[in-house]
Amino acid sequence: MLATALVAACSSGTVNTVVFDEGFGGTFPGSGWQVAGAAPAIDTTAGNPAPSLTWPMCLGSSGGLARVATLFDGAGGLLAAVDFAVTGSAATATTNVDFHAIGLDGADDAAAVIFPPPTNRVTFEIDGQPVNVPLPADHLFHQLVLEMDGSGLASWFADGAVVMSVGPVSTANWGIQLECAEVGTAGAPIPVLLDNVHIEAVP
């Protein structure tokens, strides 16, 4: 199902090369990830399929992040995907987990920020332009895909449907990371599971 969704989301029709694929079935963080701040942990009981990644807590405004250790060249096109499930309500309305692509040689960036209930939305953003979409009304896994084509058009997809497109983006080198933020709490569990981080690039 993941491969089908990725193909459906890829508007360019280009056959890309898989450059990173993480289902969290091995040691984490291992050599593939760099972790800072509040550390995420493996949940062996749930996933798409199990296991998956979650934050047992995310302390303060500094939050935590898990960054893919490799940089990716988006000059010819880039596709980055993650599966997520929201399993309950968060301690505060500002609690969130996001899937973030950061341009490291330009001003570009793109993020999909997951706000569990009570806020109950995903905020998609490309270069500061946001689009808010309600969370699905279930606890199932859903897929977020960021695609950049060779012309510099960047697009967000949710479960294969386009949410927004902005371009051109000019960054060639991209960092891909997962982040959490939980402002104003003593460190409650984050009710978001993440799985199947998948990155493709055009050779």
Domains of the chain: 2-201 (2.60.120.200)
Please report the pLDDT score of residue 188 as a whole number: 80
Residue appearing with tokens 């984490």 = 28
Residue 140 DSSP symbol: S
pLDDT of residue 202: 78
- Residue 126: the pLDDT is 96
Query: CA torsion 29→22→175→5, rounded to 10°?
Result: -160
Q: Which amino acid is at 163?
A: V
For the chain, the C-alpha Rg in angstroms (whole number) is: 16
Sign of CA dihedral 54, 56, 60, 63: negative
Cβ(198)–Cβ(48) under 8 Å?
no
Q: For tokens 């499930």, name the residue.
A: 85
How far apart CA 148 and CA 170 sit, in angstroms, is: 10
Residues (pLDDT < 50) of the chain are: 1-13, 15
Could you give the 3-state DSSP secondary structure of residue 151?
Answer: coil
Q: Which amino acid is at 23?
A: G
Query: What's the confidence (pLDDT) of residue 160?
Result: 96
* Residues contacting residue 29 through CB under 8 Å, at least 6 positions apart: 35, 66
pTM: 0.91
How far CA 9 is from CA of 4, 80, 158, in Å, comes to 9, 11, 9
